[in-house]
Structure formats: C-alpha cells, structure tokens
Amino acid sequence: MPHQAGEKGTRRPLSRWRVEGEGGAANPRRMRATGRVPKVEVTQSMHQPVSTPRFSIYYDYKVFPFQPPPELRGEQVRHPVTIVGAGPIGLVAALELARFGIPSVILTAERQVSEGSRALAYTRRSMEILQQVGVAERIARDGLPWQYGISFFRGEPVFHMDMGHDDDDRFFPATNLQQQYLEQYLIEQIEANPLVELRWASRVIGIDGHDDDGVTLRVDTPEGEYALRADWVIAADGARSTLRQALGLRMVGDSYQGRFVIADIRVKLPFETRRRAYFDPSWNPGNTVLMHRAPHDIWRIDYQLPAGETPEQALSRESLFARINEQLAMVGQAGVEWELDWCSVYSAYAMTLTDYVHGRIIFAGDAAHMLPIFGVRGANTGFQDANNLGWKLALVHRGLAPRALLDTYSHERVAAAQEIVDEAGKSTRFMTPPTRGFRLLRDAVLSLTLTQPFVRPLLHWRTSRPHDYVTSPLNTRGDDDAMFEAGPRKGAVLRNIRLGEDDFLFDHLPAGFLVLDFCEDPAVAPEVVDVVQRWRDRGLPLSIVAVRRQPGEVACADLTIAAGGTSMFDKYGANGLPAVYLVRPDQHVAARWRSVSGEGLDQALRTAMGAGSKEQCS
C-alpha cells in the first residue's frame, strides 16, 4: 500500500530494505526497496554483475545477456575504438562515431541500465545533440519540458527564473526524463546500428599495454578475463574512472563538504514542471531543498544534510520518511500518499583534468570532470564532450586530419569545464556555504530578497549552456566575423530556426562540415564549388547548404533552404547583406564572411581540420 504521511512504514517490510555498497562517485551509498534478495554466486576470478532486475515502481528493468566475445575464444581482434562505460556519454560517443563511419565496441560492467533518475534534466543544446544521434524525438515525446524556475526563502517566493524560449526553438530550455529511459533509447539506437557493439558484463580492470600504436585493456567477464586491443580508447567510465586511476591522473578544482540526499518518490502534486528551490526551509534551517517533477508522477527531492550526518544515518528509513513528509507539508501537501522508488547521497564537486587526451586514451564525461548538479551540468556537459570528440577522432582515425586535431578536443573542452567549474563553484558556495563567512553573506543576500527586488537575480542558478569556442585554434583568423552585427559568432553553436510547421533548420543539416551560403544567386560561386569538391575527393564529409528567401534550387548546392518569411536572415546577420558560414561537424562556427574566395575557404578548412593546432594548443 502507498505510504501514509505520519506512518513509519513503507510499501514493503523493513526487513526487505537493504543498504548497498559503493555506487557511483556522486552516490557513495544507496538504499532501495526490493521484494527479494537476489542469489549471489561468489566467484574468485570472474566478474559477476547483478543478474536480477533492479527494483523500480515505474521502470521495468531488463537484464541483458552476456555474449562471449571472440577474444575469449582466442581470436585476435583489433578494434578501431573501444569505449569504456555505457552511461549516456559513452553511448552518445559511440553513435557520434558511427555517424562518421567509425566502428566501436562499448564495454560496461553492468547488465542493465542505471538506477534512479540521475541526470534527469536535458538542456536544449543536449536535445539538439541527441537529435543528431536519433533519440531526441522519443525524449521530447516522453519527457516534461520546462523553462521556468522559482526560488523560495523561508517559504516566500523571492525569485522567478525564465531561461527563455521563442518560436524558433524546437526544444524547450530543459526536458525532464529519468536517465533509465535515455539510456534505453540510446541502447535501442545502438542495437539497430551495425557499427556499434555493446558488451555487457565486461569490466575493465586494467591496462595491459599503451603505446603510440594503440591500447590493450584487461577485461573481466563471467567467463574469465581477456585482452582487448584498440587503436583508440574513450574513457567514459564515470567519476570513479578505472582508466583515470590506472594512469595516475588527478583532477584540479574544489570539493565541497555539503552533502545532499536525492530521493525519487511517486506522488501526485498540483505543481507544474519547473525547478523549485527552497532556501532555509523551516524543517531544514540554513540548508537548501530542490524539487523537480519527472514523468510517471515521480518527483525528485534533493535536500541538504546537516554537517556531520553520515550517509547511513541520512538513508535510514526513519530519517528519509520524516524529512520527505516535512518537505511535502511545507509545500502544502501534508498527509498526501507517496511511495519511495530510489534514494542516494551525493557530494558536490567542481573538478576537471587539465588534459583530456593521454596518448591514445581520451577522457570524456565524469571521467574527465566532476561538476555539481546545480544548473544541470553533469550529463549535459558530457554530451558536448562526445559531440566535440566524435568527429575529430573519426577524421584522425581515417587519416584525414593530423593527430593535432585531438589536442583541440582537450583545449576546447577543458576550457569549457574550467568555465563551468568557476560558475558552478559560485552556485555551490551559495547552495552549501563552505565557511561561516560565506554563510553570513549568503544569509544576508537571502534576507534582502524578501524586501529588495534588485537582490533577487543573485539567486539565478547559472544553468548549463553551450560553450563558445572563441579561443579555439580551429577558428579562422582574418575572416569577416567582426563585420557581423548579428548571428552566431565564430566559435559559437549554430542557431536553430523554424522553417515551417514542425520543421526546423537542424532537421535538415547533414553530418560533416557545412558551407552555409546565404545568397540570392542562381548558383554557388564556382571557386567555392571547386574547393568543396577537392576536399570531398579526399574523403572529407562536406556539404554546401544554400539559404535563399524564395523557393527554388540553387545550382551546385547539396541542399537549398527557402527561408523567406522566417527569421533566419535576421538571426544570421544576413538581412540585406551576403553571408557565408563555415560550420564544423559539431555545429560550431569556424569562420564567417561577407564574401569568401576559394583560397580563403580552403585555408579555413585546413585550419578547422587542425593544421597548426598543436602549436596553438601548447
């Protein structure tokens, strides 16, 4: 039966609650209700992941079979790319590589998708990236979109946040969907893709060899160990990365003392989908509580723990139910029935490696950086890692670009992480003041919000956003970027544009480099066409997309978009003036001109492919 507020019971007997051991880095201990105790077979030398479905009151877990790989039969196989970790970042990285024709093998120690809501909120840019790998439509269909947030101080609303949304945005600023569904959709996409192999119950336990020719990993499975050889390895194995530890790498940044409980509960509440933050609530004085709505009547509640309280104490049944009841009562829902699905404890970190490329092992996601969840930064930052890395590794592996192109992955993404570490540090210090001085300052700001409107924007939570690669060595110097008064600047991501009913610019863009040509001429300039063809002959994925006001094809363009009646010319700085954009495969602008010569385009492509990048990245 559902839990009644004020009772000390759960929907299952206390004897069937259990506290599990170490989980992910942000979840040192977790507790869940289970209807049975799984049988555990103890094996001295073989990896035996849990083979019974995880408990959930809303998600039907599937246990995937272990398939013995050819290496266990003694066959010698060399893989172009091996990805360690089948969380969202590893799965997206594999699909990004597949877009450019590169096969990969994914290794995961588990046999089922992750437990709990975890990532939950996906930003607009993340949805655009997920659209490229084929799952955004399902997430938008099943998720809950939102653009607003509200902050309370001592029960009074003091700040309303609007993340912005207009008619040209296909996706809302954020979409809430539990991570299990995201992983499921990515896995289904992978199962339909012949270029990706996903190996379940395959735990990487070490590195047997690592040289300029490739990497040899040691993999433990239910049927024994084997060595796997790969040209490249992407370490997407999470905050407790085995590969990062094996290489002896350390992150720089800050860790914060404040701990939070995260609890997914099923309850019907009369609130719309928006982020709700409660500062100094009556039942948790001096601390912070966050609430997010998720599909299937699931609400995620994050609440800060008093100093000195252990995870075991925080996750005791009495503590959990008392505090969740207090929060529900505070929002006017005392006595409402609810059920607990999953809970955990996490600490806030704002840390990053200083270099993501180490020989032929490349780090992404939480293996590369650990970021506070405040501002939905974790997975959303990792998606941008995968989006940045996929095309670069593909071109280097195919011999179309120098190894120096991979140095720009580290240059760009470390800069992005460091920017986030700085911003996230401000948010985290506000949420969880690390010293008495910080707390006094935070409390003074909060007190002023009750009477002084000018103070209230200080409560903005600095949400995740795309990083502009303005200092990237892949950007062309001496283009016409400074002559534009509008449009995405050099290093920024393209702006999506509504072209019609349920029809947007990003729906049409092919994979690879793009020459985005705003013109009214009947044909693309011959010298531009000649340069594009020469690069295509070398194997570079490169397309010409012509944009014009009136319907009709532009000769020599691979795609013509009729943008008359839309805001595209205005938002790209092409209203009344010609404009040409060179766009990277990750949809970031490498150069833009009012008029471009064949020589200028050729040099810009060389630059965007990494020519001279090693010197600029050092």
* Per-residue model confidence (pLDDT) at position 464: 64
pLDDT at 259: 86
Give the torsion through C-alpha atoms of 520, 523, 529, 530, to 10 deg: -130
b/e per residue 192-220 (b: at least 16 CB within 10 A): ebebbbbbbbbbbeebeebeeebbbbbbb
Range list of β-strands (E), 96-147: 104-107, 121-123, 144-146
Rg over CA atoms, the chain: 25
C-alpha 40/C-alpha 52 separation (Å) is 10
pLDDT at 367: 98
Cα gap 276→18, rounded to integer Å: 30
- From CA 410, how far away is CA 616, in angstroms rounded? 12
Mean pLDDT (the chain, rounded) = 88
What kind of fold does domain 76-144+164-251+351-426 have according to CATH?
FAD/NAD(P)-binding domain (3.50.50)
Q: How far is Cα of residue 89 from the mean position of the Cα atoms in its chain?
A: 7
Above 50 in pLDDT, residue 9?
A: no
Does residue 28 have a pLDDT over 70? no
Q: Tell me the CA distances in angstroms from 515 to 233, 370, 492, 556, one per residue in order.
A: 31, 36, 15, 12
Task: Tell me the pLDDT tens digit for each residue of 75-125.
Answer: 999 999 999 999 999 999 999 999 999 999 999 999 999 999 999 999 999
CA pair distance 416, 467, nearest whole angstrom: 6
Question: In one letter, which amino acid is 205?
Answer: I
| pLDDT surpasses 60 at 408 | yes
Confidence tier at 23 by pLDDT (50, 70, 90) = very low
Residue 618 has pLDDT above 60, yes or no: no
Q: What is the pLDDT of residue 14?
A: 26
pLDDT in tens, 425-458: 666 667 677 677 777 877 778 777 788 887 777 7
Asked if residue 120 lies in contact with residue 177, where contact means CB atoms within 8 angstroms, the answer is yes
Exposed, middle or buried, 335 (CB in 10 Å: 0-12/13-18/19+)? exposed
Q: Strand 542-548 relative to strand 513-518: parallel, antiparallel, unpaired?
A: parallel
User: pLDDT (tens digit, 9 = 90+) per residue, 154-185?
Assistant: 899 998 889 999 999 999 999 999 999 999 99
Q: Which residues pair with 503 in a beta bridge?
A: 500
Architecture of domain 481-617: 3-Layer(aba) Sandwich (3.40)
More confident residue, 421 or 459: 421
Nearest to 93 by CA among 233, 212, 252, 214: 233
CB 490 within 8 A of CB 470: yes
Predicted local confidence at residue 615, as pLDDT: 53
Instruction: Report residue 426 as tokens.
Output: 């401000």
The predicted pLDDT at position 463 comes to 63
**pLDDT over 70 (residue 297):** yes
Q: What pLDDT score was predicted for residue 24? A: 34
Q: Please give the pLDDT value at position 376.
A: 63
Report the b/e string of 138-160 with b at 16+ CB within 10 A: bbbeebbbbbbbbbbbeeeebbe
**pLDDT at residue 426, as a whole number:** 67
Give the burial string for 365-381 (b: 16+ CB within 10 Å, else e).
bbbbbbbbbbbbbbbbb
User: In whole angstroms, what is the distance from residue 602 CA to residue 294 CA?
Assistant: 48
Q: Which amino acid is it at 398?
A: R
pLDDT at 439: 74
Region 518-531: what's the mean pLDDT? 94
Q: 3-class SS at 222?
A: coil
Phi and psi based region of residue 319 (left: phi greater than 0; alpha: psi -120 to 50; beta: remaining) = alpha
Residue with tokens 């975890």: 118
Give, as one character, the DSSP assignment of residue 610: T
- 548 alpha carbon, distance to own chain's centre: 34
Domain segments of the chain as ranges: 76-144+164-251+351-426, 481-617
SS3 163: coil
pLDDT at 29 > cutoff 60: no
Q: What is the DSSP letter of 520?
A: -
CA atoms within 13 A on the CB side of 559: 16
* The pLDDT value given to residue 462: 60
- Asked if 132 contacts 387 with a C-beta cutoff of 8 angstroms, the reply is yes
Residues 184, 185, 191: CA angle, nearest 5 degrees: 85
b/e map 95-132, b = 16+ CB within 10 Å: bbbbbbebbbbbbbbbbbbbbbbbbbbbbbbbbbbbbb
Over residues 353-398, the pLDDT tens digits come to 999 999 999 999 999 999 876 656 689 999 999 999 999 999 999 9
Please state the rounded mean pLDDT for residues 336-354. 93
Residues 209, 217 contacting (CB under 8 angstroms)? no
- The pLDDT, as a whole number, for residue 374 is 64
- Continuous H helices in 86-123: 88-99
- Per-residue pLDDT of 248-292, as tens digits, reads 999 998 877 678 999 999 999 999 999 999 999 999 998 889 999
Q: What is the pLDDT of residue 38?
A: 30
Overall average pLDDT of the 192-216 stretch: 97
Report percent pLDDT > 90 for the chain.
74
Work out the number of other CB atoms within 10 angstroms of the CB of residue 166: 7
The candidate with the shortest Cα–Cα distance to 343, out of 369, 371, 312, is 312
